[in-house]
Amino acid sequence: MSFLVLQGIQKRFTGSASAAVEDFNLAAEKGEFVSFLGPSGCGKTTTLRMIAGFELPTAGTITVGGNDITHRPANRRNVGMVFQSYALFPNMSVADNIGFGLRVRKRPKDQIRKRVGELLELINLPDKGGRYPYQLSGGQQQRVALARALAIEPEVLLLDEPLSALDAKIRVALRKEIRSIQRQLGITTVYVTHDQEEAMSLSDRVVVMSEGRVEQIGPPPEIYNFPATPFVASFVGTLNLLPAVVVDGTAARISVADQEIRGSRPVTTAGRGRVTVALRPEAVELGEGGGENRLRGTIEDVSFLGSIVRTRVKIADDATLSFDQFNDPALTPPGIGDMVTVSFPAEATLVLEGTTSPDAAIEQAIAES
């Protein structure tokens, strides 16, 4: 039986025409790390707040370890929460902040001192117990907030965009730390984020949400490779869409800007019929070594994104294609305006028939993948 179960959860705020969360179902196992991923206003934080007990669902039930906690007050749920704004008590030292939950539970003083010491070690701040929150950096404050939430040994740990106020480098370091601590303690964790990289790298499973509804629940590779809805396909990763015409449907031969390529399967559209080609950027390579399909075009843009270089190639006026290359010192990226050839395998070439709009194309790409 699953440890954390959300069944038919709905939330309607008074005076609002639409539901903030609609028919949300999730069953998380003990020790699982689940992320809620979606854009602002998709209902991910509202769902988290319902698990924490700060919001009451309009319909549905929430159970933890088989106990229905739907209507239990927040302070009797034993659910730890880490806030985006840290929410450390400014009048208390770091040690007092961490020990607050234990003092509320009337634990003996020496036991509190011991536990606080252990947690300070766990978050790598053993000598900062006497400091006040304003004397710490953002990253350190968030680590203290994590220790404070863990001190009470919660059944479920909730993290509401805990890294979004931090700079990129600290964010990456801290997310590794969060995952390592979570694994070490084996605590069931729900993590809210709008950053797909964060969700993908941290989670056992990702819940992609849009407009209050669950779009897809699955492990990160499944979410990326097999998106269940157009929204997931467009929100997670990128997809190249190129207009094309059919040359020979049975042989899956099509033409993009008068350059012939081969699709992954036969096409039913008649000769000269219009179709759309869908390609993931990682399937495309610069040069002729990436597969039997080749397209020539002009470099329109080259962007350095740290570990990767993203290049955009103009195949025709209405057809541009992006692809990524790993950045290494030996890499010489092409210059803007250079004529280049890109290649990709026929298996990665998804031909979408009878589609005109990008949304419809994405929808069909999903249906066919």
Partner 1 sequence: MTAPPRVGDRGIQTAISSATATASTTRRGPSGSRIASWLIFILAMLYFFLPLVATLEFSLRAKPFGAAYTNTLKDPQFFASLGYSFVVGLITIITSTLIIVPTAYWVRLRLPRLRPIVEFVTLMPFVIPPVILAFGLIRSFSKGFLPLAGSQRGSDVLLVAAYTILSFPYMYRAVDTGLRTIDVRSLTEAGHSLGAGTLRILWSVIFPNLRVAILSGAFLTLAIVIGEFTLALYLARPAFGPYLQHLGQNASYEPAAVSLISFGLTWIAMAFIALLGRTSRGAGGRVEVGGAR
In the complex with partner 1, the residue whose CB is nearer, 134 or 326, is 134
* Cα dihedral 312, 313, 317, 319 sign: negative
Given candidates 11, 115, 128, 148, which one binds partner 1 under the rule CB under 8 A? 148
In the complex with partner 1, the residue whose CB is nearer, 3 or 83, is 83
Q: Is 327 in the site for partner 1 (CB under 8 A)?
A: no
Residue 221 CB-density burial (10 A; 0-12 exposed, 13-18 middle, 19+ buried): exposed
Contacts of 40 (CB under 8 A, 6+ apart): 194
- Chain centroid to CA 146: how far? 21
At 328, the amino acid letter reads D
Q: Is 169 in the site for partner 1 (CB under 8 A)?
A: no
Could you give the string, one character per residue 329-358, with x where binding to partner 1 holds by CB under 8 A and - elsewhere?
------------------------------
Q: How far apart are CA 74 and CA 153, in angstroms?
A: 15
Q: Is 164 in the site for partner 1 (CB under 8 A)?
A: no
Q: Is 52 in the site for partner 1 (CB under 8 A)?
A: yes
Residue 45 CB-density burial (10 A; 0-12 exposed, 13-18 middle, 19+ buried): buried
Given candidates 58, 61, 70, 84, which one binds partner 1 under the rule CB under 8 A? 84
Q: How far apart are CA 12 and CA 19, in angstroms?
A: 5
Q: Is 57 in the site for partner 1 (CB under 8 A)?
A: no
Contact window for partner 1 (CB under 8 A) among 146-154, 242-250, 264-272, 339-347: 146-154
Q: How far is the CB of 102 from partner 1 (least distance, A)?
A: 9
List the interface residues with partner 1, window 85-144 (CB under 8 A).
85-92, 100-101, 104-105, 132-134, 136-138, 141
Q: How far apart are CA 9 and CA 24, in angstroms?
A: 5
Nearest to 295 by CA among 332, 336, 346: 346
User: Are the beta carbons of 319 and 235 closer than 8 angstroms?
Assistant: no
Could you give the string, one character per residue 6-45, with x where binding to partner 1 holds by CB under 8 A and - elsewhere?
----------------------------------------
For 118, the 3-state DSSP assignment is helix
Nearest to 294 by CA among 316, 261, 318: 261
Contact window for partner 1 (CB under 8 A) among 7-15, 149-157, 253-261, 305-313: 149-157
Q: Is 149 in the site for partner 1 (CB under 8 A)?
A: yes
Question: Which residues lie near partner 1 (CB under 8 A)?
Answer: 52-54, 73-81, 83-92, 100-101, 104-105, 132-134, 136-138, 141, 145, 148-149, 151-152, 158, 165-166
